[in-house]
Amino acid sequence: MKTVKGKRGRPPGMKGSFRDYYDELKTRIWFYPAILTAASVVVAFAMVRLDRAYSWEIASEAPWLFAGTAEAAWSLLSALATSLITVVSIAFSITIIALQQASSQYSPRVLRTFTSDKGNQVVLGMYLATFVYSLLVLRTVRGGDDGFVPALSVNAAIFFTLLCLGLLIFFIHRIATSLEVVNIIKRIHEALMKQIENLYPETVGIGSQDPRPADELVEAIRSSDGAYPVKAEKSGFLNRVDEKTLSEISDESIRWIFVPVRVGEFVSAGSVIAEMDGEPASGQTGGKIKKALVLRSDRSFEDDPMYGIRQLVDIALRALSPGINDPTTAEYALLYIGDALGCLANRRFPENKREFPGNPIKFVLASPGWDDYIRFSVDQIRGELRGKPRITSVVVKVIDHILNNLISGDRVNVLREELAEIRMLCEEGDNFSRRDKAGILQLLGRIETRLSKYPRLES
């Protein structure tokens, strides 16, 4: 049966708090190992019970099963358990080394892509599960006149061990390929594109029909006589806005609620996370707002495309640093940033003014705009372009790609500003050779000619 998905591909029946907890668990490296280990306990008891009930029938119908003595079964299961726990130790060591290398070579923020990798979690889980299974079966083996040899369970242990052997090859290959910078950048890019697809052109609720600009509404909320702030009880990064909880807020004393914090921003304990245009009649209103604004100790990709761009920018900056000096990696990161921004360039950004059908309360939500994405992606990298003509030309080509995908002329001003900064960087000083400078300026000139066709808007 095909699962019916709600808005943005989320199961409509899953409550926000449970989903938050589940999403957090999936990023833990022990999540699938814990599930598989628990399952191995159930399988071990079930297999032994099956052996006890049908041992003679199984032996007569399947003579190819393990037919050794209790001592042979004990030795075999002991050898399997010993070898498996050794391999588990090696696998965990390899994982830790991979995490250290990724953190130092690229960015500490890419670690979550390793720890949340389902393939690595399943491999480690299968090894632990087979080890636990072998121990539990081993404790049931008895010799003597009333001896018991669980033949079916021993054969299952052999099968699980062979499966683990194949998974070891898979694990080594996966770790080796996952450390390739192209694959790291590609995983980040895929998560970023998924969030762009989810969040644009729509986000929380639907666009409000109120004709007033968002800035005017914010000013009206703050200047109203009964303006009432909601303060955070704890610190953390705003990971997402829980749409379901927000839609359930109902208070006859309130018409507008302004949330000044963007998804991905850090919230200090005691800071204002929402402002209402009146004092709430219900004491639960503030609590619901706090519940709707999900705070965690770290940022995540969920509802936060800026975080994906932040990771790609970090990789580019680390690659351009004197200690690493890897311009090719920086070029890859910039090209993927350009692809994501090119996709955003032809998307309609949602209104900051939001509402829910049937709910009289309306919301103004702070969210990044087009200019924010461009400046966030280019400004820091531009500071590392001195003496790097190849990377400079890549940044210019990225802006050219973005221009090719623009759907609206009101988005070109920030591109003009970035190109003007790059031109100034090229023209002043001796950062580039004459040939490199001429090539970059020629490329800039072609793009600026195309930009001149758009009217210059006042910022």
Q: What pLDDT shows up at residue 20? A: 58
Q: Is 140 helix (H, G, I), strand (E, B) or coil?
A: coil
Is the Cβ–Cβ distance between 295 and 255 less than 8 Å?
Answer: no
Look at residues 101, 123, 110, 225 and name the one whose alpha carbon lies nearest to residue 171.
123
- For the stretch 70-116, pLDDT in tens is 888 899 999 999 998 888 888 778 777 777 777 776 766 666 666 67
**Concatenated DSSP letters of 396-452:** HHHHHHHHHH-S-GGGSHHHHHHHHHHHHHHHSSSSS-HHHHHHHHHHHHHHHHHHT
Percent of the chain residues topping a pLDDT of 70 = 87
Question: What pLDDT, on a 0 to 100 scale, did the predictor assign at position 124?
Answer: 87
Measured in degrees and rounded to the nearest 5, phi and psi for residue 266 equal -85, 135
Confidence (pLDDT) at 344: 93
- Residues with Cβ within 8 Å of 2's Cβ and at least 6 positions away in sequence, in order, are none
**H-type alpha helices, 179-236:** 181-199, 214-223
Q: pLDDT digits over 352-389, tens only?
A: 899 888 888 999 999 899 999 999 999 999 988 888 99
The DSSP bridge pattern shows strands 256-259 and 362-365 to be: parallel
Report helix, strand or coil for 243: helix
pLDDT, residue 60, reads 57
Stretch among 143-147, 183-187, 344-348, 387-391 having the lowest mean pLDDT:
143-147
What pLDDT is recorded for position 2? 36
Looking from the CA of 130 toward its CB, the CA atoms found within 13 Å total 31
- Reported as a single tens digit per residue, the pLDDT across 249-306 is 988 889 999 999 999 999 999 999 999 988 888 888 999 999 999 898 888 877 889 9
Tokens 């351009």 belong to: 320
Q: What angle do CA 313, 316, 317 make, to 5 degrees?
A: 85
pTM tops 0.75: yes
Closest CA relative to residue 29, chosen from 132, 98, 104: 98
C-alpha torsion sign, points 351, 357, 363, 366: negative
The whole-number pLDDT of residue 147 equals: 75
